[in-house]
Amino acid sequence: MPTVPHRILVTGAAGAVGRAVCRALGERGHAVRGFDRSPAPELADFVQGDLAESRALGGACDGVDTIIHLAANPTDAPFLERLVPDNIVGTWRVFEAAALRGVGRVIFASTLQVVDGLPREPGRSLGVDAGTACRNLYAATKVLGEEIARVYAHRHGLSTLAARIGWLPRGAYDVETLRRSPAARDIYLGRGDCGRFFCCAVEATRPAPGESAVLYATSLALGPAPFDPAPAERLIGYAARERWPEGLGELG
Ligand SMILES: NC(=O)c1ccc[n+]([C@@H]2O[C@H](COP(=O)([O-])OP(=O)(O)OC[C@H]3O[C@@H](n4cnc5c(N)ncnc54)[C@H](O)[C@@H]3O)[C@@H](O)[C@H]2O)c1
């Protein structure tokens, strides 16, 4: 159990990642408040609203020490209509609210897709410092999010962490695709590991105030790790325990 229970706002709490994260944080004894435009009936402390509603978002940030920012369009949705307001402006609003309200740490949900276009050497793990190369605009919004996180650490003294999340299936269709694609299973993220990653990210002493970090958040690969797991273990003490198809939860 953590020595200090944290007060955490989870945006996107009604989504697939959000549900796994809120459950794990609650089981660790943290006080969790959810924020989402969709309802999350399983959460006792929940604010229903859109990231565009500054009053609702600001109020939801009151009294929290950590924000886990997951709310976004998780696919390559229409750019101007969906990705710009939700993934770009919404992310800026969350960091701005955090800085204004003195929130200590913001953990931002990025994606492995930010490195999709990088050249790979078979059998070698990709480092977190290998740069980015996007193949779609959704991933490009996440690169911008990683950079926004860096700016708010540098300029406002926040502790920020961007988690490049692997593939956590949102429904039966994703599970079927993973079953049929051996390569995709190497980017899999089980629900148990997802919960553990975010608990580690909340409880770790680093990144320190003013410091930003980027980490991969995946489960164990079937073969050699395609994404270097060492930085996450060093910085926040996260070590994956699940391997496809473990951790599918209710989708298993
Ligand atoms: N599931 C994955 O495999 C995966 C992989 C990499 C990154 N991610 C990232 O993790 C985060 C969560 O993804 P998910 O799979 O849970 O997606 P999801 O669609 O299941 O959940 C996203 C949630 O965010 C909410 N939301 C979106 N825009 C909002 C807004 N403007 N205001 C309020 N709420 C809003 C939605 O209502 C939804 O409940 C996203 O940022 C996504 O990009 C997910």
pLDDT in tens, 172-200: 999 999 999 988 889 999 999 999 999 99
Give the sign of the dihedral formed by CA 30, CA 73, CA 88, CA 163: positive
Q: What share of the chain is helix, strand, coil (3-state, %, to 5)?
A: 40, 15, 40
Domains in the chain, number: 1
* Residue 138 falls in the annotated catalytic set: yes
Distance 73 CA to ligand 1 centre (A): 6
Determine if ligand 1 sits within 6 Å of the CB of residue 72. Answer: yes
Ligand 1, atom 26: nearest CA belongs to which residue? Answer: 71
- Assess whether the C-beta atom of 86 lies below 6 angstroms from ligand 1: yes
Give the nearest ligand 1 atom to 189 CA.
3
Q: What pLDDT, on a 0 to 100 scale, did the predictor assign at position 122?
A: 87
pLDDT at 184: 87
Torsion sign, CA atoms 186, 191, 47, 7: negative
DSSP label at 188?
Answer: B
Nearest ligand 1 atom to the CA of 142 is: 43
CATH number of the domain that residue 247 is part of:
3.40.50.720
Is residue 111 lining ligand 1, measured as CB closer than 6 Å? yes
DSSP conformational letter for 251: G
Ligand 1 centre and the CA of 18: distance in Å?
8
DSSP H stretches of helix in 12-170: 16-27, 54-61, 90-101, 137-156
Query: The tokens of 100 are what?
Result: 């204004």
pLDDT of residue 185: 87
Using the atom order of ligand 1, give the atom closest to the CA of residue 110: 7
| Atom 39 of ligand 1: nearest residue by CA position | 15
For the Cβ of 13 lying below 6 angstroms from any atom of ligand 1, the answer is no
Q: Is residue 2 part of a domain?
A: no
Taking the complete model, does pTM exceed 0.85, yes or no?
yes
Active-site residue (options: 138, 152, 188, 238): 138
Range of the domain at 13: 7-251
pLDDT lower than 70: segments of the chain: 3
In degrees, to the nearest 5, what angle opens at C-alpha 167 toward C-alphas 8 and 147?
A: 60
Atom of ligand 1 at shortest range from CA of 40: 39
Report how far residue 100's alpha carbon sits from residue 146's, in angstroms, rounded to the nearest whole number.
19
Q: Is 150 in the pocket of ligand 1 (CB under 6 A)?
A: no
